[in-house]
Amino acid sequence: MLNKDAKEEVLIEGELLSQSLASLTSWHIGGIAERLYYPPDVEKLSHYLNTLSLEKPITWLGLGSNVLIRDGGIKGAVICTRQLQELYQQADGSIVAQAGVTCAKFARFASARGFADAVFFAGIPGTIGGALAMNAGAFGGETWEWVEAVTMINRQGQFTKRSANEFDVGYRSVRSKQGQPLQEAFIEGIFRFPLRQHTEGKNSIRELLRKRSSSQPIGTLNCGSVYRNPPGDFAARLIEACQLKGHQVGDAIVSPKHANFIINLGHAKARDVEALMEIIEISVLSQFGIKLFAEVKILGQKED
């Protein structure tokens, strides 16, 4: 009989080996994943995790809209949740959404059922799993304002349901009550909104997206906002004040439209983006004494 360590060296059903991750990110940047797995449902995901060695690193990936994957790729297993698409309303009025549901789809679903407060989700360019993990927000709304409970999965593939009050939630931050980084992954969220029936749900979403398009470089290769806004200020204002709009390293450029966006002009590498981020951070710290903190998550290994 194979032991746990021996089993992990065998290709598991549905796994892909040595796969480029560039096409799975909104920046179209990223190296090779040692292993890549798309769970078709949570039962298969549980089995997959139970099969992996506990020493095997795991990286979770949704739409890839808030990540920079380095050119050297990612060791271990990358789990892409895009096929986890269950979305439904329960008898008590709450909405259940699995991790792979896009926030735009969630906004349309909730809005169509009279939950006007969910419209802001249309402005989050990611999935529910990612929104839960970082308390994503847009247009003044934040994900965890509306979370009632979540289902999480651990390294052994075991599910645990947790209430919202078991977490410390802040601006683009979700941690355990003990202040520790989360050791489990969000696999499902249960949301509750007050019923505020309106007849312009679709129009409201279109108007919010129109406003976003007028101020952000929609249609370009970008990851969304690169930096968190510092208290009482805006990262974009600080970057623009450093005259960095249009500043370029390789094929990575600070958006001339919105300074908190970095655009891949077509052939940018992760090293170009990181070099540009270093210039931004040094410039803002030098000119304003403010340290910018990245909202984008940097994953993987630098290229040798």
Active site residues: 172, 225, 295
Contacts of 281 (CB under 8 A, 6+ apart): 291, 292
Give every CB contact of residue 240 below 8 A, 6+ residues apart in sequence: 259
Residue among 111, 122, 116, 192 nearest 150 (CA): 192
Helix pair 201-215, 103-112: axis angle to 10 deg: 150
159 φ, ψ to 5°? -95, 145
Place of tokens 């651990």: 154
Burial of 286 by CB count in 10 Å (0-12 exposed, 13-18 middle, 19+ buried)? exposed
Tell me if 120 sits within 8 A of 104, measured CB to CB: no
Q: How far apart are CA 295 and CA 1, in angstroms?
A: 45
Phi and psi at residue 196, to the nearest 5°: -130, 85
Q: Does residue 190 contact residue 93 with C-beta atoms inside 8 Å?
A: no
CB atoms within 10 A of CB 138: 21
